[in-house]
Amino acid sequence: MERRVAVIGAGTMGSGIAHVAALHGYQVYLLDEQPGVVTRARQRIAQRLQRDVEKGRLTAAESEQVMDRLVEAEWNQLADADLVIEAVLEVMNVKKAVFESLDRTVKPEAILATNTSSLSITELAAVTQRPQKVVGLHFFNPAPVMKLVEIVRGEETSEETVSAVKAFAESLQKEAVIVQKDTPGFIVNRVLMPLFIEAMRIYEEGIASKEDIDKAIQLGLNHPMGPLALADLTGLDVDLHVMDYLFQEFHDDRFAAPQVLRRLVRAGKLGRKTGKGFYEYSES
């Protein structure tokens, strides 16, 4: 794998992926269609790096080099990227439009990866002329911290593509698992969404307070955070999209989104992104 990586979408996941790639020596092009988003992402990354400097994990010079490697780019600069990671909104048509444009812009030998957390890789690959070079590369939030990457094969993803992104993930000091079949939710979200749903139903049914539900799972199962706090962290709008997609694909009540989640999302309470979700956050 060459050293030029482009990340499309500078939200929580895109900026986290860009951060970790730049930290591990890649030249990173970061793009977002919304003005100002890349600038804010770079500011957040600079603050994280500053913390690393204060803690003695990086020198000030290294932190500067990381920021120098991470540049805001325009579409036409993507032509020479070796790997593109799409991290835009979790909506199939939005992602398809991005993949169509990428396929026209980026050199034919480049790999086009998606950070989708549940959608079909095969369906996305079908809008390109290079389905063998399209693959799922699913990072977890917060991307600089979480060790796992799910690598998801589409129907036509080549062995060479899987090996290349596995080597890439390992170069970021991540552990990769290979999802051999392109199925909705892959491994983690297929397990996580029913956990979220059950915790939300327990809350809706008035069985316990949200704090006690989270405390029970945290201390009873040794999870770093409870499911309601984690649902806020991942973004309630994202969680709802994922549940609705899994429900539509599997026709199974295991994935039926609770009303409380729909109400919060409709009210614009999207978790940490807005400072409000199941919990209130003083900083978003």
Active site residue 117: yes
| Annotated active-site residue in 63, 115, 120, 189 | 189
Q: How far is the CB of 145 from ligand 3HC (least distance, A)?
A: 4
Active site residue 189: yes
Q: How far is the CB of 58 from ligand 3HC (least distance, A)?
A: 11
Q: Show the tokens assigned to 207.
A: 């069985």
| 11 vs 158, beta carbon nearer ligand 3HC | 11
Q: How far is the CB of 243 from ligand 3HC (least distance, A)?
A: 10
CB proximity list for 119: less than 8 A, separation 6 or greater: 90, 92, 95, 184, 245
Q: How far is the CB of 1 from ligand 3HC (least distance, A)?
A: 23
CB atoms near residue 279 (< 10 Å): 18
Active site residue 211: no
CA-nearest of 27, 128, 110, 99 to 69 is: 27
Q: CA-to-CA distance for 112 and 20, rounded, in angstroms? A: 18
| Annotated active-site residue in 115, 117, 118, 120 | 117
Give the residue closest to ligand 3HC by C-beta: 117
CA-nearest of 260, 218, 213 to 240 is: 260
Q: In the complex, which residues of this chain contact ligand 3HC (CB under 6 A)?
A: 48, 51, 55, 117, 140-142, 144-146, 188-189, 192, 224-225, 230, 234, 238
8 Å CB contact between 142 and 113: no
| 131 vs 136, beta carbon nearer ligand 3HC | 136
Active site residue 72: no
| 76 vs 282, beta carbon nearer ligand 3HC | 282
The catalytic residues are 117, 138, 150, 189
